[in-house]
Each structure stands twice: as structure tokens, then as C-alpha cells.
Amino acid sequence: MRTNFTLLLAVLLLANACQSDNSTDTTTAENTSPAPTAVINDSITQVYQEFFEQLENTFPLSCTPERGKVNPADAALKDTLFFVFREQLKSVIADKDIFGLLPHISEQIKTGFGADGGLQSFIQMWELDSPDKIAQSKLWSTLETVLNLGGQFHGGGQNRYFEAPYLGPCWPHDAEPYEYGAVMGAGVRLRSAPSLNTQILKTLSYDLVKYIETTPIEETIGGESHPWIKVQLVDGTEGFLYGKFYRSPLDFRVGFQESVGQWKIVLLLAGD
């Protein structure tokens, strides 16, 4: 997987270099052969397709409205350069590489709904102001989760924007965000009590559920610890979801803005 991604990145850089050469060197155009643009585009398509076919848990490109569901979607695959940027960013996050991350953070990043914001606020909020805190910061797990949950593009031109996760862009208009959440996955079990050793009431896939409470009961499964969440289905059935598979549309989301051909994180916040 990493080999194919590296190859994809190399092909993209080659394509950009050739395009740059064609746009700047016009005086010798008659004496040189044209860049093999068609060949480069074919190479990008081939490598990109091979890389895409190896991806796991890929989502449809666009939101698919369905009553009682919040179906996942990821439009990043519509833009090869953004997709490659996001994959690079995932690697930086997995390595907890603060020096690799900061160049991708906007100086004016929005971190809340008040007047405060900016890069310094971001650093303080996520405790990135000392080496011993950086590795323990919750920023890495937050970004990893959000970036693996797809997203959608907004606007165009200089105002082009990508929002992740998909919950915000795909959220049904008639569901109050403060009251409802979504099941994050297919085949998720709704249980009669907050424990793995209880009756399975239903198996859910990306269902819209009404939030009742977060229980004080936390369980560690597969090295991850999450509380059990009590929810109600649209048919009135009440039960418990393991917290890993429940998410509110008001949880952390990230916004990317394109400026002069570069993508940066301009927003990382929770709430409404």
C-alpha cells in the first residue's frame, strides 16, 4: 500500500513539473518536443486506480439520503491532489510528527466559537507547547478518527473547502443535532445492557439514533476504551451501543481550505 502511494505521489509531482515547464518555457517551444501529457495522465490514472482498489472501507463519493440513516460518503477521491495530501497528512499524524503537521495548519485556524483562535490558541488547546506533552496530546487520535470518516467538498475556486467527517455534510435536515447521533459502521450490535455479555436487540448499519445518555460504564475492547451509550431507535427500541460506534454531529470536525494550490487546516472544533 505504501509503495503504491509513494509511486502515485511521484507521478503527480512529475506531472506538475512538466506542466510547470510547459507554462514557463515558451521561447523554445519550437525547438523542443512537447511533454508527454497524455502518457503522464494515463500513468496517474493507472497508479491511482491501483491504489484505490487496495483501500479498505472506502465510502461512496456522495451522500446518499435514506430515511433513518446517515450513510457515509467521501468526496476526497474526486480530487487526486487533495486525496494525496490527505494521505500524506494521515502518515504525519500516525507518526505524531509535529514538525510535519504545523506547516499544514492555518495561522488563523478556528478553534472555537468565540473571538479566540489562531495557531497559538491551537497549540495551547492541544498541549503542543512542550516536547513531553506532544506525544500524549489527544490531537493525534482526534485527527486520525476524523480523517478516516470521509467528508465532502463545498464551494469552488478560491473558496473551495473540504469538511470532515461526513456527518456534517450528510446530516438529515429534520434531525436535531443536539438530540441525535449516528451509528458509525455496518453490523453494529445494539445490546440490552451496557456489556458485551448481554442480549443483542438489533444489528444496525449507519442508523440515526436518539441520544439518551452516556453511561459511567467503560469497557476496553481491542486496546481501546470507550463508554457505553444508551440510545433510542426511530421505532422506539432502547438499547446500548459501544461508544466507538456512536458519534454526534457536534463532535470534532475539521475543515480544509485551498489557497494558491495548497490545502491547510482552517478549522478544528466541536460544538455548534
Where are the extended beta strands (E) located within the chain?
A: 105-110, 152-154, 161-164, 180-183, 188-191, 200-204, 208-221, 224-232, 238-242, 246-247, 253-259, 262-269
State how many domains the chain has.
3
d(C-alpha 254, C-alpha 142), whole Å: 10
Say yes or no: 258 and 147 in one domain. Answer: yes
Element (H, E) at 121: helix 119-125
Alpha-carbon gap, residue 123 to 139, rounded angstroms: 10
Please give the order of strands across the beta sheet that includes 105-110.
Answer: 105-110, 262-269, 253-259, 161-164, 152-154
Same domain, 220 and 136: no
Q: What is the pLDDT of residue 33?
A: 47
Whether 17 and 152 map to the same domain: the answer is no
CA 15 to chain centre: 26
pLDDT tens, per residue, the chain with 272 residues: 554 555 455 445 444 545 444 444 444 444 444 445 454 455 555 555 555 556 555 799 999 999 999 999 999 989 988 999 999 999 999 999 999 999 999 999 999 887 678 999 999 999 999 999 999 999 999 999 999 999 999 987 667 899 999 999 999 999 999 999 999 999 999 999 999 999 999 999 999 999 999 999 999 988 889 999 999 999 999 999 999 999 999 999 999 998 788 899 999 999 87
pLDDT at 42: 54
Same domain, 79 and 164: yes
The answer for residues whose C-beta is within 8 angstroms of residue 79's C-beta and 6 or more apart is 153
Q: What is the pLDDT of residue 80?
A: 87
**b/e per residue 10-34 (b: at least 16 CB within 10 A):** ebbeebeebeeeeeeeeeeeeeeee
Rounded distance between C-alpha atoms, residue 208 and residue 28, angstroms: 61
- Does residue 65 form part of some domain? no
Please state, as a whole number, how many other Cβ atoms lie within 10 Å of the Cβ of residue 211.
16
* Domain of residue 44, residue span: 2-54
pLDDT at 9: 55
- Residue pair 257/167 in contact (Cβ under 8 Å)? The answer is no
Pair 127, 227 in one domain: no
Same domain, 165 and 187: no
Same domain, 156 and 116: yes
pLDDT at position 43, please? 54
**Domain identity same for 140 and 8:** no
- Judge whether 209 and 182 are in contact, CB under 8 Å: yes
- Bond into 165 cis (ω within 30): yes
Burial of 158 (0-12, 13-18, 19+ CB in 10 A): exposed
pLDDT, position 32 = 46
In a domain, 194, yes or no: yes
CA gap 103, 264 in Å, rounded? 8
